[in-house]
């Protein structure tokens, strides 16, 4: 009698890991926003995220200038990628982060972002409303000064610089509060009501970049 043979073992296709996305972030502010997104980047270990700042001499830091800087940096990276024949030098996503304030160029910035493939995130009245939502509910309309005062009560000695112990892990709580305050503010390139922000879209993007891509 011939020995019994074991049925052939079926090999499962192994998971394939794809490179993480490279994300460019250009902020209107040069301190708080940059610190926050670098903190988020570190929280998620999202190495490919490049958080930049926008310093435009002679014309301030209006939303249109932020969008133009984002386009310039993105296009330069694309040129470098072609020159060095290295696709990983280019950015997969380009984001710009601005406040509403009283900027006259906001509508033009929205049009420019849409035309150039930049994801423009808008906070009203200011970026700090997103930070405040890490700590508490807030649905009533506020001025920038109101938001900063409330945030300072949560962060002693707050002077635009975020403490190392800022609760980045509460971003999902902040996201729920943002969606509750303005359920329609769910996409880039759109101005919401007061208060509102869609910064959580970028936080989600950074989190996904940090995990990398795994496909079967």
Q: Residue 185's pLDDT is what?
A: 95
Q: Residue 5's pLDDT is what?
A: 56
Q: Residue 105's pLDDT is what?
A: 87
Which one, of 36, 151, 43, 145, lies nearest residue 95 by Cα?
A: 36
pTM for the predicted model, two decimal places: 0.85
DSSP letters spanning 63-99:
HHHHHHHHHHHHHHHHHHHHHHT-GGGS-SEEEEEEE
Q: Residue 19's pLDDT is what?
A: 60
Say if CB 121 and CB 197 are below 8 A apart.
yes
Residues of the chain with pLDDT under 70: 1-19, 54-60, 210-216
CA dist 188 and 114 (Å) reads: 9
Say if CB 8 and CB 52 are below 8 A apart.
no
Q: Residue 135's pLDDT is what?
A: 98
Q: Residue 158's pLDDT is what?
A: 87
Q: Residue 209's pLDDT is what?
A: 84
Say if CB 107 and CB 190 are below 8 A apart.
no
Q: Residue 24's pLDDT is what?
A: 93
Which one, of 139, 133, 130, 146, lies nearest residue 98 by Cα?
A: 130
């Amino acid at each position: 009698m011939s020995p019994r043979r074991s049925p052939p073992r079926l090999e499962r296709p192994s998971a394939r890991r794809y490179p993480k996305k490279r994300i460019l972030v250009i902020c209107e502010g040069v301190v708080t926003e940059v610190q926050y997104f670098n903190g988020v980047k570190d929280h998620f270990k999202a190495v490919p995220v490049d958080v930049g700042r926008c310093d435009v001499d002679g014309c301030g830091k209006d939303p249109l200038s932020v969008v133009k800087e984002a386009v310039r940096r993105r296009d330069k990276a694309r040129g470098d990628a072609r020159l060095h024949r290295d696709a990983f030098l280019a950015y997969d996503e380009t984001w710009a982060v601005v406040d509403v304030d009283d900027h006259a160029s906001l509508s033009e910035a929205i049009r420019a972002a849409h035309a150039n493939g930049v994801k423009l995130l808008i906070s009203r009245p200011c970026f700090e409303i997103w930070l405040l939502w890490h700590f508490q509910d807030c649905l009533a309309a506020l001025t920038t000064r109101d938001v900063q005062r409330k945030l300072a009560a949560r962060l002693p000695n707050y002077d635009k610089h975020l403490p190392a112990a800022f609760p980045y892990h509460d971003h999902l709580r902040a996201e729920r509060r943002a969606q509750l305050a303005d359920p329609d503010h769910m996409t880039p390139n759109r101005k919401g009501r007061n208060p509102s922000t869609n910064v959580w879209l970028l936080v989600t993007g950074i989190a996904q970049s940090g995990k990398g891509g795994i496909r079967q």
